[in-house]
Structure 1
Amino acid sequence: MFSFLKNVISSFWSENDADLSLDEAYNILNSAEDKEDVELPNEISHSDDIQDDYACYHKTGTVTAANDGSYTIDDTYEFKSQLENLGVGMQVSFTVYTTNGEVKVSDVAIKDDWNCSMYNVRSSWTSRTLICKVSKREGRQLIATPGDISIDLNSITSEFIPIVGDWIELQAKVELDQNITDLFGKVLEIERICALRPRVLEGCVKEWCNETKTGVIDRVVYFNGDTLTSGYVPVVGDKVIIEAIESDQGRYTCRALKVIPEKQVDKQLTLTSDISCKFEDNKEGIYISDNIFLNAVKLGRWITVNLESNRCKIDRAKNVNKGSFLLANSKFKLKRSELVRGQYLTVPPRFISARLPDYPVPQKLYNIFVQHADEKNDAQLKEDICKAKPCLSMSLSFNIYEDYFHTLLHLDEIQHLIALKNYEQDRVLFIRNAEYLMVEIENLSEKRPSLIAGDRIIAKDSYNQDAIEYEGIIHRIGAKHIYVKFAQEFHDSYNGEDMSIMVVTSRSPFRRMHQAVGLAIRNLGSSFLFPTKVVQQKPQVNFVYDQYYDHLHFEIDDDCESSILEINKKPTRTEKALAALKKHAMEQQKNVNNDNENSPTGFSEAEHVKSQLLLDPPKDNNNKSKKHSKVEFPNRTQTPLKLEWYNRKLNYYQKEAVRNILLGEARPLPYLIFGPPGTGKTITLVETILQILRLIPHSRLLVATPSNSAADLIALRLIDSGVLKPGDIIRLVAYRCVVEDKLSVKLIPYCATADIAREGTNLQGFNVNSNGLTLGCNSSVIGRHRITVGTCVSLGILYNMGFSKGHFTHIIVDEAGQATEPEIAIPFALLDVLAGQIILAGDPQQLGPVVISKLSAAYGLEETYLDRMLSRFPYVRDSQGFPDTGGYDPRLVTRLIYNYRSLPNVLKLSSDLFYDGQLVATISPIKSKEANLLNSVKEILPCQNNNSIPPSVVFHGVIGENYQTPDCPSWFNPNEASQIFYYVNELYRLGLKHTDIGIISPYIKQVRQIRSLLIEAEFELPKVGTVEEFQGQEFNVILLSTVRSSENFRNYDLKYKLGFISNPRRVNVAITRAQALMIIVGNPYLLCQDPHWRSVIKYCVDNGAYCGCDLTYSS
């Protein structure tokens, strides 16, 4: 540049050249300025002057590239804009500034020649907090006043979804303007928005309109249907806990972000917080001075604080090893007698690539449990636990993530150890059975925690405390007996002596979860575990695909569609689209010539209409998201692949999920697929896996599930697809699955167990047993297949084998709603967030993971990662921002809405309560096997008002009595059991089989009562069980006994989470098991006091499907 200026100057002073005119001189100087502007980005990016990081420039330039909302100015400055008529070659004005070394562009406008004085000017910017009010919203765009500030929710960080009227706090970068008193110039960038004055309050519902889904709490706080917890329908007078923010909503000054019934308060909505005072207490020689007074405190002044500890130096040693630990590695104290080891399922390896840390239970926590063992009130226990672990009183955040989940896992393990005492017995006789010694345990299948092969039995002489202890390994588990192998010397010497036994289970699952929690912090980071915004990425796959749209209408009978519309009363967005398709089809049909049947193509009239629709779908402005033309990626050099569906029966939303996953525009944030049972989540995952394998050749997939049954199901679906070649997939199983013989014959050739021995130290190598199962595979075999399938816990063995993050490119988790967050972190932690992708599928409204410790469940271990993501920005539902996708950002979430299992009337109840009324039934209420079955039992059902279709959901009111027996804490209700027996008898009389019927009760004692009645009557026994036993299953007819009939025990159930009262998810599971008919038997007066059951009973009353005791129900 300096050489260029030198030439300019020399041109003025050269004696040999002719004098320049004034215009020529100005042209030369303007060219020099342009040269300086071109060099500006490099100067900004690499300048050592710290002021450059706060500099901004008003500039002009030419748009040189444009691609789908992304533009480039002067081949240098990239930006995104929604300006209309902006194209290549246009002159624009803009502001360019730097932040953290990154050049950013804002305030782009088409150049105005009348105001050129503002161009090419340098100024500065600063960070500032602005208090604004949302005055307008269109989709994801907000306008905030004062200043008419435009905010794009897709590009900022937020913790909630604002609406018009909300007061918000903006963290922004603003230009400094010296012409304004407070120097507040143009807003360059909005970084974050926060709600103003968020707080948690108690209140009472004063108004609620079911039509508009709006209400008022305490005459001050406005709320709408989006703020309600799933399944809750408010009624005037309900006591609620709310999270409120400042907002102008007509005559109301606050708005609720979350509304929870008082009896189901979320752990994170804490009314009071006294955690700070606990840090002010004097403890362990540290004394906190009171009322420290500092003179003349000024900004910038340095203050020296002296800390003095009077703790004895000898006492420091106790923090080196945190005291003794409970059953660390299941080792026994030295004062115990000698322990003789048993016969293990496999020989433990001597050398392991990566050993699991112990993560022992701290003695301090265990002592607190022992101290409160005899107390019935948990309040003091919770208080002492929170004092020992203050993180439990805080909302979950990245800073306390590790400590929080380590503590919850320790609490769960302590309860696990306490529960194992139920297996302890004195004076036990072993029964010889071939190579085993058997032990009889009553109610073995009902005891929790369940025993599995590989667990250990410690046996010793009942009458000699110093006798030798023998370790026995459980090899098999029967209905009432466990099959144990001790050391051979014990088998030879045992002669029927009385023995005392205790059970010791493996700690490996807990240790793997502890390790995964730590790895999640290091490998995933805060932006993954606690996302607050979406940083859009370029598509990960270059592909094209043919047009598709929601043509499910063609698979539904005309009578079915009209009946569904009649049942749902108000057509939904999807139904309107179907109606538009039908109208278009009728118009096309009128134009079809009858001679087409004899045309050379051989198409029938119906085929012609359908083909025309598929080629030329109707133009519907309200259904833009339903139609997709071919999409290409011109910026990619390689030839795009064609997306061809392996399963051509996928519906529109399933295809959308697969397409969005392949694009991966929100990577590394996980993609969520959720929906109720029967909507095809697993089928969608199978298609996704197959498409990733085909379109991303370098991919290696890890497929995880919480249970073996779910892992087997998805593995079998992948094998049955016929796409995979031998060696593409491996089903990783634990050795106990082999011993217990629980593997499907079809799956055995694809199964293998892992050997964690360091490679080269196990000379035997892997072998194949007689069934074709591969045993003992090392790291050279396991993990090298394109697809590895296993349970979350069993996949933790990959850490022991030395696999590091990034080995698998895609982590896929099915049934994610049934896994705790530490459990799901085991496969997660193997992800490289810079290059990988995670996909989750599940239903957050069904029963979650089984957590033994009520304390751990209360503090958040029961809340799954799927739950947590769907309740926070940017995953949270935004019906105004994403009206075409059910309120969810399609880059992050797909909700499946088409149900293929249940009649519309059965589906509507759960749809309205738990799924925002979005579910669509595909089964005809008139022409289907389910409808025929319902009609066959019509005579035993109450008649609906002016409707020929029998009711699919019936409530039979029974005022009974609930009882307990001395030997069992569970409850039973003889009156309800008799009514259930009556319905079973009638259903059998009308031709139904036992395989058509399922009977559910929340109490095991009622299950036994009903089962015994049916056995005494010599009926074929249908499936009778608790709600947990029915999750994932469906029957044509479901009979449901709620049992509880006494007001005195309602609060007891709420406190200890018993029955249906305390858990809306248990209600949801129960009412979604039926395909054709559900009959609920219970006390309506008691159940109406629960908000969810109140809605169920009202649904039956409104549809004329209530019978039994008299009921006066006021809506």
Structure 2
Amino acid sequence: MASVGETKRPKDCKLCFEELDDLHLESSNHVFNYMLSTYQENKTSLRSDRHGVVVEVDVQKKNGFNYNFDTTQKKTKGKYTLKMTPKEFYLHGCQVEFSCVIKNIRREKNVAMIYAGVLHPYEPFSMVDPNNNMGKFPSLKPGGTYGLKVILKLDKCNVSNYEIPIFFSLQAYSKQNKESMMNFSITRTIVVIIQEDILEPDLFEKSPFTHNEWQKVQVHKHSKRFHRYMPTDQFKIPQKYKRSLALWSYNQERNINPAIWQEFQEKLYPGTLSADNYADFWKILLWLEEIKTKIALQAYNMEKVTLKFISSSQGLRLGVPGLGEKRPSVIRGDKIVIKIHDQAHKSYEGLVGHVGDKAVDIVDLDDEIVELIKREPDTLIDVKFILSRIHFERMHHGVEQVALNGLTRQLFPGTDLLKKQYTERINLGEQDFHNGDIYKNYEQRLAVTKIVNLSSKGAAPYIVYGPPGTGKTVTIVEAIYQLKRNTDLKILVCAPANAACHMLAEKLSEFCRTSELLRVMSETCDTSSIHDNIVKYCNVIRDKDKSGSEKLKVIPFPQEKLKDYRIVVTTLVFAGKYTRVYHPDVVFLDEAAQASEPEACCALSLLMPDKFVVLAGDPKQLGPVVNNKVCKNYGYGISLLERLSDLTLYKNDLISDNNFTTMLKLNFRSHKEVLAIPNEQFYGNNLEACSVISNHDPLAFTRIHSGIMGGKVNQKKGGAVEFCAVLAKEQRHGRSPSYFNSSEVNVVLQYVTALMALQFPDKNKNLRPSEIGIVTPYIRQVYKIREVLSPLYKDEIEVGTTEAFQGREKRVIIISTVRGQHDLLLEDKKYKIGFVHEPKRFNVAVTRAKSKLIIIGNPLILNRDKLWKKLIEQSSRLGTHCGVPYTNRDQKERDNITSRFKNLQLKDFMRTSS
């Protein structure tokens, strides 16, 4: 069944990810990738000793040194691994040698050696023949052997994994057919790992996730459960659609009832979002997203786990592997049902009270189960996660209300609005600005002026397009100040996350009394991040828990009193609670690019058609999270801000009298070299790096890698962008979806140590740990880096994923890219995890740095991505490309590898001796 709006497109080559045609099949690129693919298919047989030939590899001993040489994988993977510390490698003269012995274990018949070499050219590796017979080997008689050497020689002790596949092509008489010759090849892989063992060994137990569904059991709920924020079961998925939506979510459209499929297509017609299908379109997509999220959550049901009693909350703590990477995705207020493992007839329902990186607290449980765990903490428990529907309910209601209120006209504006006349009724002088710096910034001043004069009121949202470091939030805060000062309008200020709302409330509190500003939040809000200076503006009270510790407790806020405040700040989804009772005149959506359109509708649904909307954000950075691929294909992952930004109306930002958008252009954060690539690739070179502090920071002119290698740090021959090449393989534990790279952890530690040792003439320029941020795409790498840094810097150095750093900045950003599969015969283009082939994640990561950006990664992988390739090329121009030597896989290199493969017998081949 074809989806609505689906058009036929040429098929892509599964090997090359390029359009498949006859010319492509004959191209050198396809031949190369086909060769690699065939090699992958035959690796298992290639590394096997056979036809009476055995290949052994050993490290050449030197001065009685005790080597850490692992041969346990020689049978399973044909791999030999040598581990050395940088100091040990240095004491070896930065050179190690391996012997490769080919043995003919037959009782009769010679074996001919046809060829021996490395599959991939790599300058530090060489294969030599002590007998000088390379290319013309003698035959091996029965019981005979022949020895070759493989040498790794480096100039420096760079931390990395040095791995190279070697192969031997041979010819022998077939044991089955004495008159026939068998041509075959045997491969081996030598790995030299140079790094310190700084990570503690992980002890991983069997995963507690079972994927098992529960049978129906009686559920006991707390008698005093607080129901105020529980869902009301509105907009539930119709029973007749559940199976079909689940099938669709897992690409099984052909099994859907044709009549139901037709209904779906009619509601989605013409296959893209429009003003006409707005409510029905989002209803289907929200159901799809909900059902996929619900099914995905059930996969994390747990069995035979133990819980810990928490006296402060009178609840239970549950350890959840993968929680920090949202596997499972659990938020405060979600339901969790638990039961004693051997008792199938009775279970207990509670709520998620707190979510950490590795554990959740379950509160509001029946006292019976809490007391049992308190007395018998070793009791084995089964756990089931249940999706809270309240977010989906509010999004459904928001979308429906936006359509009913006639607001869809503003959300699909046409180019005819460019003719709209604009009258500037409120003139702002320099003395009128709360923040005087905004008056001096043309684009910021223009945006504030347009907003205070409601330039697009009733016609379309006004967009403040704020690339990194351009002062987007301070601009809209100034605009709110001017609206408060010059009008009597009621203002709603929203953001997707509570942390952003807290920050907005702090900035607004500078010019608001408690009778004017309200920061209203739900009872599920984590209050630990609320600073003391805004407590008086929030619906919280100071309360003591049962342990005597004081904490903030959210109290319900009377809905009818919202209208008494000039400015209300809350999250987008929570705003949907007040649709029927609160109707502001102006709605500001900060960080609007991170919110899905239905999420934005939770706030927009409070508006009447002739009111004013301001969206602030950057569509070139991370957008909404989508679980369902079908939803993603239909645009669920495109925020309202990004969708509007693609319209002609919003692309006329160069027109001086545009009433609908302003692009902020002065970047106050980053050094010009840090900003160069993202500016070119994402912002049309419109940004100007105007931070005097960052552009003149001595750190930006210092080559840090020199300090890592034991040399003197040169404070005049560096650049703001530094790339350190590390060829090392990522790892993961069991089925964990999260990767780590221990070699990169080593290099991160080396860089941090070198940075903290820097001494500038001006002592005020010396680095503090809090000025360093470390960004990595995988939560497991976050944990590994924290493990080695925390004992030294007491968590002063912030380490987090890309998502955690969005909106943040640090004087120094170190990026550990992790993705480093260094078997050079793998198909690199298949890697679409982490930073590779993820433009928005790349943009966020590299634009967090103020004065120094340090990238640690595998250039052989990163060079496959055009953005990372440009960054690596930039470091070469700056003279800050460092780390291990490597050869780029350009066409010349590919041709070289292809020529070597001609000597490799990918499959055993029999031919008659005649």
Q: Name the counterpart of 1:655.
A: 445
Task: Supply the distance in 2 between the matched residues of 1:1112 and 1:936 (Cα, whole angstroms).
Answer: 23
Distance 2:305 2:694 in 1: 61
2-structure distance, mates of 1:1021, 1:1063:
29
Q: Indicate which of 577, 601, 604 corresponds to 1:797.
A: 577
The one of 461, 464, 468 equivalent to 2:346 is 468
Deviations 1:396-432 (A, max 9, x none): 2223222221222222212221232254222344444
Matches within 5 A, 1:259-270: none
Any idea what the Cα deviations from partners look like across 1:306-325, whole Å, max 9, x if unmatched?
xxxxxxxxxxxxxxxxxxxx
**1:69-98 CA distances to partner (integer Å, 9 max, x unpaired)?**
xxxxxxxxxxxxxxxxxxxxxxxxxxxxxx
The partner residue of 1:427 within 298, 304, 314 is 304
* Separation in 1, partners of 2:275, 2:665: 34
Matches within 5 A, 1:303-342: 336-342=216-222
Q: List structure 1 segments (4+ residues) > 6 angstroms apart after TM superposition.
A: 199-204, 377-388, 769-774, 1016-1021
Q: 2-side partners of 1:380 and 1:1040: how far apart? A: 44
Deviations 1:250-297 (A, max 9, x none): xxxxxxxxxxxxxxxxxxxxxxxxxxxxxxxxxxxxxxxxxxxxxxxx
CA contact (8 A) 2:701 2:715 kept: no
- How far did residue 878 of structure 1 move? 6.8
Residues 1:703 and 2:493 are matched in the alignment: yes
1:677 CA displacement: 2.2
Specify the alignment match of 1:359 in structure 2.
235
> Partners of 2:737 and 2:624 in 1: how far apart?
23
Report deviation, 1:349: 9.6
Counterpart of 1:784 in structure 2 is: 564
Tell me the residue number matched to 2:201.
none
CA distance in 2, matches of 1:1018, 1:543: 52
Alpha-carbon offset, residue 819 of structure 1? 0.5
Structure 2 equivalent of residue 665 of structure 1:
455
In structure 2, the residue matched to 1:822 is: 598
Deviation per residue, 1:512-534 (Å, 9 max, x gap): 00111111112134431211134
Q: Residue by residue, what CA displacement relative to the aligned partner does 1:526-570 show, whole Å, maximum 9, x if unpaired? A: 431211134455657733344x8xxxxxxxxxxxxxxxxxxxxxx
1:729 pairs with 2:496: no
CA contact (8 A) 2:316 2:370 kept: no
CA shift in 2, pair 1:716/1:967, >3 Å: same
In structure 1, distance between residues paired with 2:867 and 2:559: 51
Judge conservation of contact 2:730–2:820 (CA < 8 Å) in 1.
Answer: yes
User: What amino acid is the match of 1:403?
Assistant: D
* Counterpart code for 2:222: G
Measure how far apart 1:822 and its partner are: 0.2
Cα distance change, pair 777–1100 in 1 and its aligned pair in 2 (3 A): same
CA gap of 1:201–1:645, structure 2 versus 1, over 3 A, is farther
Matched, 1:406 2:182: no
Amino acid at match of 1:839: V
Give the deviation of 1:839 after TM superposition.
0.7
Correspondent of 2:532 among 739, 745, 752 = 745
Q: What are the superposed Cα offsets for residues 83-116 of structure 1, whole Å, 9 maximum, x if unpaired?
A: xxxxxxxxxxxxxxxxxxxxxxxxxxxxxxxxxx
Specify the code of the residue in structure 1 equivalent to 2:637.
E
Cα drift, residue 1068 of structure 1: 0.2
RMSD of Structure 2 on Structure 1 (CA): 4.0
SS of the residue 2:519 aligns to: strand
Are 1:837 and 2:717 matched, yes or no? no
Distance 1:772 1:492 in 2: 26
**Match of 1:622?**
none
Partner of 2:676: 908
Distance 2:652 2:363 in 1: 52
Q: Does 1:715 align with 2:505?
A: yes
For residue 65 of structure 1, what is the aligned residue in structure 2? none
Contact 2:745-2:784 within 8 A present in 1 as well: yes
CA distance in 2, matches of 1:539, 1:874: 15
Task: Provide Cα deviations, 1:104-146, integer angstroms capped at 9, x if missing partner.
Answer: xxxxxxxxxxxxxxxxxxxxxxxxxxxxxxxxxxxxxxxxxxx
Partners of 1:656 and 1:798 in 2: CA distance: 32
Match of 2:845 in 1: 1070
Q: 1:677 aligns with which of 435, 450, 468?
A: 468
Match of 2:633 among 858, 879, 891: 858
Map 1:49-198; keep pairs closer than 5 Å: none
Q: Taking structure 1 as reference, are residues 392 and 1026 closer, same or farther at Cα in structure 2, changes over 3 Å only?
A: farther
TM-score (normalizing by structure 2): 0.65
8 Å CA contact 1:904, 1:925 repeated in 2: no
Q: What is the CA–CA distance in structure 2 between the aligned matches of 1:822 and 1:395, rounded to whole Å?
A: 15
CA distance in 2, matches of 1:1013, 1:379: 48
* Residue in 1 that maps onto 2:698: 931
Partners of 1:908 and 1:919 within 8 A in 2: no
Q: Distance in 1 between matches of 2:531 and 2:553?
A: 11
Alignment identity in percent?
Answer: 29
Following the alignment from structure 2 to structure 1, what is the Cα–Cα distance between the partners of residues 532 and 613?
30
Unaligned runs of 5+ in 1: 1-198, 205-216, 219-236, 239-331, 549-642, 755-768
Q: Name the residue aligned to 2:386.
A: 504
How far apart are residue 464 of structure 1 and its match? 3.4
Aligned-partner SS, 1:980 = helix
Matched letter for residue 739 of structure 2: W
Shift, 1:984, TM fit: 2.2
C-alpha distance in 1 between matches for 2:848 and 2:256: 36
Q: Distance in 2 between matches of 1:1079 and 1:727?
A: 47
Q: Say if 1:958 and 1:743 are closer, same or farther in 2 by CA, change over 3 A.
A: closer
CA contact (8 A) 1:386 1:392 kept: no
Quickly say closer, same or farther: Cα 1:923–1:383, change in 2 above 3 A.
Answer: farther
Matched, 1:983 2:751: yes
Aligned in 2, Cα 1:838/1:1082: closer, same or farther, shift over 3 Å?
same
Aligned equivalent of 1:1039: 814
Cα 1:684–1:961 change in 2 (3 A) is same
CA shift for structure 1 position 449: 4.7
Match of 1:950 in 2: 718
1:593-622 deviation line (CA, Å, top 9, x unaligned): xxxxxxxxxxxxxxxxxxxxxxxxxxxxxx
Q: Give the structure 1 partner of residue 426 of structure 2.
A: 543
Letter of the structure 1 residue corresponding to residue 338 of structure 2: A
CA distance in 1, matches of 2:8, 2:412: 21
CA distance in 2, matches of 1:446, 1:520: 33
Find the residue that maps to 2:780 and give its secondary structure.
helix
User: What is the CA distance between 1:772 and its match in structure 2?
Assistant: 8.9
Q: Distance in 2 between matches of 1:906 and 1:1039?
A: 12
Question: Aligned partner of 1:689: which letter?
Answer: I
Aligned-partner residue type, residue 734 of structure 1: S
Q: Which residue of 2 aligns with 1:959?
A: 727
What is the rounded CA distance, in whole Å, between the counterparts of 2:405 and 2:660 in structure 1? 21
Correspondent of 1:1048 among 799, 817, 826: 826
- 1:974, distance to aligned residue in structure 2 (A): 3.5
The alpha-carbon deviation at position 962 of structure 1 amounts to 2.9
1:504 maps to amino acid:
I
2:670–2:695 CA contact under 8 A, matched in 1: no
Match of 1:1059 in 2: 834
> Alpha-carbon deviations, 1:322-343, whole Å to 9, x = none?
xxxxxxxxxx99x945432215
C-alpha distance in structure 2 between counterparts of 1:909 and 1:1104, whole Å:
16
Instruction: State the Cα distance separating 1:1021 from its structure 2 match.
Output: 6.4
CA drift of 1:1008 comes to 3.3
- Aligned partner of residue 908 in structure 1, secondary structure: helix
Matches of 2:852 and 2:554, distance apart in 1? 45
Amino acid at match of 1:713: M
**When the two structures are superposed, what TM-score results if normalisation uses the length of structure 1?**
0.54
Aligned to 1:484: 363
Relative to structure 1, the CA distance from residue 948 to residue 382 in structure 2 (aligned partners, 3 Å threshold; closer, same or farther) is farther
Q: Is the CA contact 1:392–1:859 (under 8 Å) kept in the aligned structure 2?
A: no
Q: 1:178 maps to which residue? A: none
- Residue by residue over 1:414-465, the C-alpha shift from the partner in whole angstroms, topping out at 9 and shown as x without a partner, is 2221232254222344444446241322334444454344332223343233
Listed as ranges, the gaps of 5+ residues in structure 2 are 1-6, 13-18, 21-28, 31-212, 542-548, 760-766, 892-914
Could you say what secondary structure the match of 1:982 adopts? helix
